[in-house]
Amino acid sequence: MRWVFMLTLCWSVVGCAVSPRQFRQSLGPGPGPGCVSTVDCQCKDGVVVACEQLGTVPRPRVPPPLPPPGAAEEAREKETERRRDSCGDDYVRCIDAGGGSLAGRVEGESRCDSCRAYCMAHGFWPTDIYNWNAKPLTCPGK
């Protein structure tokens, strides 16, 4: 009976001296090289849940391939060209429909000019644009 009491006392004292994190680590496999803990290792391996536990962001293992130099500019130029063509087609329709003699949003600008400016900026021909009084103005031809 006395031995049992001593054993329980000893275990509880030793148990309290070990932190929960150390205790958990003592159960699992030890951390690998370059890791602080097993969870740290898992995070470095890209396990998102492990990184969430540590409060860090997982790093992608392989960095995404970089676009070739000048590719972004080329794509932008291509898009501008596309817009010029498409907005130009709608501009012609707008003129044919009589929009060339309607006032635009700005003094001296026709309706078709304003609609084309919107199209070039936003990438589509609108059915209406809004003037400075927030009133819809029709973009003819669609």
Partner 1 sequence: MSGKMKEAFADPSLHDPHWRAFILDMENMSARGDWRRFRAGLRRLERRHAGHVPAASMHRALAEDAFLCAAHWEQAPRIVRGALRALLRYPLRFALYSFVAAEYWRWASQVSPADLPAAEAMLAEVREALPSLDEHERWNTEGLLASLKR
Binding site for partner 1 (CB under 8 A): 82, 86, 89-90, 97-99, 102, 122-128, 130-131, 133-138, 140, 142
The C-alpha atoms of residue 45 and residue 138 are separated, in whole angstroms, by 57
Q: How far is the CB of 83 from partner 1 (least distance, A)?
A: 9
Residues 40 and 31 sit within 8 Å (Cβ to Cβ): yes
Between 24 and 82, CB nearer to partner 1: 82
Continuous H helices in 97-140: 111-122
- Per the rule left: phi > 0, alpha: psi between -120 and 50, beta: everything else, 124 is beta
Q: How far is the CB of 65 from partner 1 (least distance, A)?
A: 25
The C-alpha atoms of residue 140 and residue 82 are separated, in whole angstroms, by 21
Helix (H) or strand (E) holding 136: strand 136-138
Q: How far is the CB of 78 from partner 1 (least distance, A)?
A: 13
Q: How far is the CB of 90 from partner 1 (least distance, A)?
A: 8
Between 30 and 136, CB nearer to partner 1: 136
Between 45 and 79, CB nearer to partner 1: 79
Between 51 and 94, CB nearer to partner 1: 94
The C-alpha atoms of residue 58 and residue 41 are separated, in whole angstroms, by 11
Between 23 and 130, CB nearer to partner 1: 130
Q: In this structure, what token pair is assigned to residue 107?
A: 């003094």
